[in-house]
Amino acid sequence: MGVEKFGPVRVGLLGVGTVGGGSFDVLARNQAEITRRVGRRIEITRIADLDTERAERVAAGRAQVTGDAYEVVRDPQIDIVIELVGGYRIAKDLVLAAIDNGKHVVTANKALLAVHGNEIFEAAQRKGVMVAFEAAVAGGIPIVKAVREGLSANRIEWVAGIINGTTNFILSEMRDKGMSFDAALAEAQRLGYAEADPTFDIEGVDAAHKATILASLAFGIPVSFDKCYVEGITRLQAEDIRYAEQLGYRIKLLGITRRRDEPGGPRGVELRVHPTLIPAARLIANVEGAMNAVWVRGDAVGDTMYYGKGAGAEPTASAVVADLVDVARMLTADPDNRVPHLAFQTESLAADLPILPIEDVHTAYYLRLRVADEPGVLADITRILADARISIDAVLQREPARGEAETDIVLLTHRTIEKQANAAIARIEALPSVLTKVTRIRLEDLD
Ligand code: HSE
């Protein structure tokens, strides 16, 4: 082909499950277009997978198959290694071995980068190789590129995203069909959205891995997964979704990272994943099913939102193959002048911009209280909130069900500092007329 200025780039693929198979197919199907984009062919010439029969089926004679990933990682013919093994331990050893052997790496492994990213990027920097990871955050949505390159003129203020499709599907089912959490989870598993062990999804860990990476890209800080506040959706009750709806809100599992530097307040970065009330009119509140969306605010651009599939064979392959294209284009660029892994020059990663503890987070709240239906209850509660200087935005109280002497009170508050909310909630829970622990869900207007 006339556009080919160089010989082919040779790629070794580690792990040929859903995304690996998808990447092989997308690259083969769009080979001509991709070659026109890059100026040279990108060829997956080797595949490693413990299941060599599966690998042979995918390769169909077009790539050499092995059961030993280290053979590929050490192969002098290979320029780029795609790591789709997943998990922390074996994947980390393979990625570090690939880097050590001078290979560029493309990975979809958010857990690996959120936990060991600093070590991996440092090793890559030392060796002058690239580690590309578009597929690690929100699957097919090019959010890494958007934050790292498209928005590089901006001082980013915050990023808020629906970055786990499984939990968004569950929450959509609970709201649309009035399903319980357990029934919605079973449906997600039946449709293949949730893993057989869905813990990382429903406990918010997968979203926290992605939010951690986004925080580093947005604010130029080292990856700090251990400082991310993580709360999943397993304790959400169907009635909270209903009450939120009556008040004009939807509940979404958001990954939020926000710069904080208001005068007199703490200076740092909020990094948190938790169920969040969002006004129903916001675009992001209407992202349904297994779709992902990431909302980014920059000081120059204002609000931007990115929407698409966060998982699945070809959507994720779209990101993996785009990374191959990026790496292939950059192979001839001086390593010191490539796009930095975490958007900012390594030596400028801001260790002085700490992740703030959850107690310092500034947010509003939905509070649901189970109370005895007797005089003065609401007055006692509002007095405690007033003493804590927490302003109430809305109140919803249901009539007690027939024959019952207790009911729910739902309050929406204005923003406050979390430790003040904690103290007020503890005082409210100590009231004799408050019958159970207070249900607290954070609320973000995103305005
Ligand atoms: N399990 C993830 C999700 C997809 O449900 O969004 C891969 O990150």
Topology (CATH level 3) of domain 9-132: Rossmann fold (3.40.50)
CB of 198 sitting under 6 A from ligand 1:
no
Contacts of 61 (CB under 8 A, 6+ apart): none
How many helical (H) and strand (E) elements, i.e. helices and strands, does the chain have?
Answer: 15, 17
Query: Distance, CA 228 to ligand 1 centroid (Å)?
Result: 18
Contacts of 141 (CB under 8 A, 6+ apart): 292, 293, 294, 306, 307, 308, 309, 310, 319
CB of 310 sitting under 6 A from ligand 1:
yes
CB of 166 sitting under 6 A from ligand 1:
yes
Question: Atom of ligand 1 at shortest distance to CA of 200?
Answer: 1
CB of 140 sitting under 6 A from ligand 1:
no
Query: Of 173, 201, 213, 214, which is best to mutate to test ligand 1, by the most ligand atoms within 8 angstroms of its C-beta?
Result: 201
CATH of 362-443, one of 2.40.50.140, 3.30.1280.10, 3.30.70.260, 3.20.19.10: 3.30.70.260
- pLDDT at position 352: 72
SS3 302: strand
pLDDT at 291 > cutoff 80: yes
pLDDT at 272 > cutoff 90: yes
Give the least confident one: 156-160, 195-199, 308-312, 443-447.
195-199
**Tokens linked to 380:** 């006692």
Same fold, 143-309 and 362-443: no
Query: Distance, CA 389 to ligand 1 centroid (Å)?
Result: 40
Question: Atom of ligand 1 at shortest distance to CA of 311?
Answer: 4
Instruction: Say how far apart CA 188 and CA 139 lie, in whole Å.
Output: 18
If pLDDT is split at 50, 70 and 90, which confidence band does 288 have?
very high
SS3 132: strand
103-130 burial, b at 16+ Cβ within 10 Å, e below that, comes to bbbbbbbbbbbbbbbbebbebbbebebb
CB of 444 sitting under 6 A from ligand 1:
no
Query: Of 84, 113, 164, which is best to mutate to test ligand 1, by the most ligand atoms within 8 angstroms of its C-beta?
Result: 164
Question: Atom of ligand 1 at shortest distance to CA of 108?
Answer: 8
So which residues are the catalytic ones?
210
pLDDT at 153 > cutoff 80: yes
Which residue's C-alpha comes closest to atom 4 of ligand 1?
311
Q: Decide: 244 and 277 in contact? Cβ < 8 Å.
A: yes
Question: Atom of ligand 1 at shortest distance to CA of 167?
Answer: 5
Query: Of 193, 205, 294, which is best to mutate to test ligand 1, by the most ligand atoms within 8 angstroms of its C-beta?
Result: 193
Concatenate the DSSP letters of all residues of 12-38 into one string: EEE--SHHHHHHHHHHHHTHHHHHHHH
pLDDT at 3 > cutoff 80: no
Q: Taking residues 273-280, what's their average pLDDT?
A: 98
If pLDDT is split at 50, 70 and 90, which confidence band does 386 have?
very high
- pLDDT at position 398: 81
Query: Distance, CA 198 to ligand 1 centroid (Å)?
Result: 10
Strands 80-83 and 9-14: parallel
If pLDDT is split at 50, 70 and 90, which confidence band does 264 have?
confident
Q: Taking residues 333-355, what's their average pLDDT?
A: 84
Superfamily of domain 143-309, CATH level 4: Dihydrodipicolinate Reductase; domain 2 (3.30.360.10)
Instruction: Say how far apart CA 44 and CA 142 lie, in whole Å.
Output: 22
If pLDDT is split at 50, 70 and 90, which confidence band does 351 have?
low
446 or 159, which is more confident: 159
Query: Distance, CA 292 to ligand 1 centroid (Å)?
Result: 9
**How much of the chain, in percent, has pLDDT values that exceed 70?**
98
* Residue-range domain boundaries for the chain: 9-132, 143-309, 362-443
CB of 201 sitting under 6 A from ligand 1:
yes
14 or 349, which is more confident: 14
- pLDDT at position 350: 72
Query: Of 134, 166, 203, 254, which is best to mutate to test ligand 1, by the most ligand atoms within 8 angstroms of its C-beta?
Result: 166
Query: Distance, CA 206 to ligand 1 centroid (Å)?
Result: 7
CB of 164 sitting under 6 A from ligand 1:
yes
Calculate the average pLDDT of the chain. Answer: 95
pLDDT at 7 > cutoff 60: yes
- pLDDT at position 1: 47
Query: Distance, CA 86 to ligand 1 centroid (Å)?
Result: 12
Q: Taking residues 301-305, what's their average pLDDT?
A: 98
Instruction: Say how far apart CA 277 and CA 274 lie, in whole Å.
Output: 10
pLDDT in tens, 178-211: 999 999 999 999 888 877 679 999 999 999 999 9
